[in-house]
Amino acid sequence: MAKGEVVLGCLAPHPPHVVYAENPEQNEPFSEGGWEALRWGYHSLARKLKGIDYDCIVVLTPHWQTYVGTHFLGLERFQNISVDPIFPNLFRFNHDITVDVEMAEAMHDAAAEAGIITKMMRNPDFRVDYGTIVSCHMLNPDWDKPIVTISSNRSTHYYSNEVMNEQATALGDAVMKAIEASGKKVVLVASHSLSHRHFVTEAPLPEDMSREHIYNHSQYVWDMKIIDMMRRGEMQEVIDVLPEMIEQTMAEAEGGGLTWMMAAMGMPDYPAEIYGYQSVIGTGNAIAAWDPNEATRQLVL
Amino acid sequence: MSEEPEIVLGLYVPPHPHPLLASEQNEGWGKLRDAFDTCRQRIEESDADLMLIYSTTWPSIVGHQIQAHPKPVFTHVDDDFHFLGSMPYEFHMDAEYAECYREACEARGLHARTVAFDGFPIDTGSVVALKLLNPDNRIPACIVSSNVYSNRAEQIVLGKAARDAMSKLGKKVVVVVVASLSNRMFTEHIDPADDRIHSAKDDEWNRKILEFFENGRLEDISQLSRDIQGQIRVSKVVAYKPAWWMAATMGQHNNYDGEVLAYEALHGAGGAVIQLTPAKGGVGDKEFDEDDVEFYHGDRSVLDKGML
Ligand SMILES: [Fe+2]
């Protein structure tokens, strides 16, 4: 059996606003659009993904928050309605999700082997978080590939951003071993924004783009700094400054997604593909991808 | 709003699902369950006609969200403790109070909105509290979220707005706060038999807070909120907010009969079931009480030996 591999890594923010703006049939509310810079970026990345041969999508999401270890979805199918607890006016999404349980178990076992506290989630009533759903829908609106969701252990809250970085790195290393042993081709997804300070009020029409802008300039400067480093392939440096960035911008990378993904991909030193950047209710959101295959790697934006 | 609302009692209860789903697995979890049951009985014996819940496990970002679905039905599963089982629910919410609370928030300068959507994910803490304290939906309920960015002033005004709405509708209310005391859990899975408070420091602080509760000193706990946050609260959010909201909602004083019905560990966190009943006498003998709020009698001489 050939060694398994990561065929693409995606930074895929999950504001429910982007799904809302798309008006897919699965989502109940109706919108007049909005956040095009992000949505068109997502469309472009989704087209690239269509051309890649892969077996499953593995997502680490900060909206499945676990304090007792790292958990993995462990049942084949989840059919339900997902209502966003923060933006229920925008996101009430009927989903039918297929899970690659074999891959999830392999990742769980590899993480446990590495000394990480783990748990398989086997409760059929469990509701898959909206971070997973938004990122996966925008990357693959056909939902024709199985997924694996990994929870976000709250080590930032319990210890520090530095401890989070260490633990997410260990998880990334373990997940890579499981992927290699599986023989599968896997797409990794870090589901989160960059800077993450929200406005606490909402426009009467949420998609009114005349109201949308970054929360403050400091957030913007940090976001641009990180995107610049991504363009230059300085991912080790990004991970090194991440604790500081999280501290100063409340960055959603605090959930461990980016660190985990970069560790699993061997800390890329090649340029990331940048697909878009836009604020959503004040937060900074970048869509980026890391293509290990030099022949297909592009300069997108 | 000059008319004082009628608050029948106040309860402080823990958010984790163990007392609901696994009370037989650990003696302490069973004691918490018994305490919930006692409170349920007392609510039944009271003439309360509304249960208002403030839950620390329902975060919000866009202002303050207030649950207004008249009959939310779903099956909830906890993110961490999914293996303990599912929590199917069907609740009865007081949509009229919810709307009135929203209006009162807006009148006091707060951004607030009601939510009434099928399938809305009611949080673990609210589900546990409603299923154990109000299992037959005997009285209608309402739930208000905990805004992640809000701080002291906003929480206190949010409590005052809750009172405005109670007065306006003439409600007799059971006020419920869903929150841990110390909130650090063990980061590994444990044998239920081995559960204990995470550290001696957490335990000491919890017991000190319980002393205050037992003496009815809710306003004093509110004043100590920032110390409590610094000492025994994991920095998930910027402040320990439930005491601010509870004290403001219950009238900003120390004049209660307090009773700690149970204090036990829930996977390391401090779980307590506490009842506060508004009392008549006793004003003036606690730190933040004033003998007379209308006339200046001079500063209280706290360094004197007093009557000794
Ligand atoms: Fe998020």
pLDDT at B235: 82
Closest Cα to residue A174, out of A294, A67, A100, A256?
A256
Closest Cα to residue B72, out of B56, B94, B51?
B94
pLDDT at B1: 44
Q: What separation in Å is there between the alpha carbon of A154 and the centre of ligand 1?
A: 14
Q: For residue B2, is pLDDT > 50?
A: no
CA dihedral B10, B221, B157, B291 (to 10 degrees): 90
**Weakest-pLDDT range from A138-142, A221-225, B225-229, B300-304:** B300-304
Average pLDDT, chain B: 93
Contact state of B234 with A158 under an 8 Å Cβ cutoff: yes
Counting runs of H as helices and runs of E as strands, what totals does chain A give?
9, 10
Residue A6, phi then psi, degrees to nearest 5: -90, 120
CATH annotation of A5-290: 3.40.830.10
The answer to ipTM > 0.90 is yes
Question: In which band, very low, low, confident or very high, does the pLDDT at B287 lie, cut at 50, 70 and 90?
Answer: low
Mean pLDDT of B26-41: 98
The Cα–Cα gap between B223 and B214 comes to: 16
Q: In this complex, is the C-beta atom of B42 within 8 Å of any C-beta atom belonging to chain A?
A: no
Q: For residue B304, is pLDDT > 80?
A: no
Tell me what percent of the residues of chain A surpass a pLDDT of 70. Answer: 100
Q: What is the pLDDT of residues B99-149, one digit of tens each?
A: 999 999 999 999 999 999 999 999 999 999 999 999 999 999 999 999 999
pLDDT at B306: 46
Structure token pair of residue B224: 């100590």
Q: Which domains does chain B have, with CATH numbers?
A: 6-305 (3.40.830.10)
Which residues of chain B does A92 touch, with a Cβ-Cβ cutoff of 8 Å?
117-119
Q: For residue B288, is pLDDT > 80?
A: no
Which residues of chain A does B115 touch, with a Cβ-Cβ cutoff of 8 Å?
88-89
Q: In this complex, is the C-beta atom of B59 within 8 Å of any C-beta atom belonging to chain A?
A: yes
Structure token pair of residue A228: 């610049």
Global pTM reads: 0.95
**A65, A92, A125 member nearest B75 (Cβ):** A125
Contact state of A158 with B187 under an 8 Å Cβ cutoff: yes
Q: What separation in Å is there between the alpha carbon of A295 and the centre of ligand 1?
A: 33
Which residues of chain A does B63 touch, with a Cβ-Cβ cutoff of 8 Å?
200-201
Q: What is the pLDDT of residues B70-105, one digit of tens each?
A: 999 999 999 999 999 999 999 999 999 999 999 999
Q: In this complex, is the C-beta atom of A63 within 8 Å of any C-beta atom belonging to chain B?
A: no
Question: In which band, very low, low, confident or very high, does the pLDDT at B237 lie, cut at 50, 70 and 90?
Answer: confident
Contact state of B111 with A201 under an 8 Å Cβ cutoff: yes
Mean pLDDT of B268-291: 80
Determine contact, residues A145/A54, Cβ cutoff 8 Å: yes
Contact state of A157 with B267 under an 8 Å Cβ cutoff: no
Q: For residue A269, is pLDDT > 90?
A: yes
Residue of A nearest to B85 (CA): A123
Q: What is the pLDDT of residues A169-203, one digit of tens each?
A: 999 999 999 999 999 999 999 999 999 999 999 99
Mean pLDDT of A230-242: 98
Contact state of A69 with B189 under an 8 Å Cβ cutoff: yes
Q: In this complex, is the C-beta atom of A294 within 8 Å of any C-beta atom belonging to chain B?
A: no
Question: In which band, very low, low, confident or very high, does the pLDDT at B280 lie, cut at 50, 70 and 90?
Answer: confident
Determine contact, residues B274/B179, Cβ cutoff 8 Å: no
Tell me what percent of the residues of chain B surpass a pLDDT of 70. Answer: 90
CB atoms within 10 A of CB A295: 5
**A64, A68, A151 member nearest B189 (Cβ):** A68
Determine contact, residues A63/A14, Cβ cutoff 8 Å: yes
Residue of A nearest to B121 (CA): A85
Q: What separation in Å is there between the alpha carbon of A249 and the centre of ligand 1?
A: 14
Determine contact, residues B243/B225, Cβ cutoff 8 Å: yes
Which residues of chain A does B120 touch, with a Cβ-Cβ cutoff of 8 Å?
83, 85, 88
Between the two ends of chain A, the Cα-to-Cα distance in Å is 37
pLDDT at B308: 44
pLDDT at B238: 82
Mean pLDDT of A60-67: 97
Q: What separation in Å is there between the alpha carbon of A255 and the centre of ligand 1?
A: 9
Which residues of chain A does B144 touch, with a Cβ-Cβ cutoff of 8 Å?
none
Q: What is the pLDDT of residues A67-124, one digit of tens each?
A: 999 999 999 999 999 999 999 999 999 999 999 999 999 999 999 999 999 999 999 9
Residue with tokens 């900003």: B252
Contact state of B82 with A86 under an 8 Å Cβ cutoff: no
Q: In this complex, is the C-beta atom of A122 within 8 Å of any C-beta atom belonging to chain B?
A: yes
Q: For residue B300, is pLDDT > 90?
A: no
Which residues of chain A does B76 touch, with a Cβ-Cβ cutoff of 8 Å?
125
pLDDT at B282: 63
Residue of A nearest to B86 (CA): A125
Q: What separation in Å is there between the alpha carbon of A220 and the centre of ligand 1?
A: 18
Q: In this complex, is the C-beta atom of B267 within 8 Å of any C-beta atom belonging to chain A?
A: yes
Which residues of chain A does B184 touch, with a Cβ-Cβ cutoff of 8 Å?
158
Mean pLDDT of B247-261: 94
CA distances from B13 to A212, B30, B55, B168 (A): 40, 14, 10, 27
A–B: how many Cβ contacts below 8 A? 96
pLDDT at A285: 98
**A125, A153, A198 member nearest B61 (Cβ):** A198
pLDDT at A1: 84
Tell me which of B18, B58, B62, B67 to substitute to probe the interface with A (most A C-beta atoms closer than 10 Å). Answer: B62
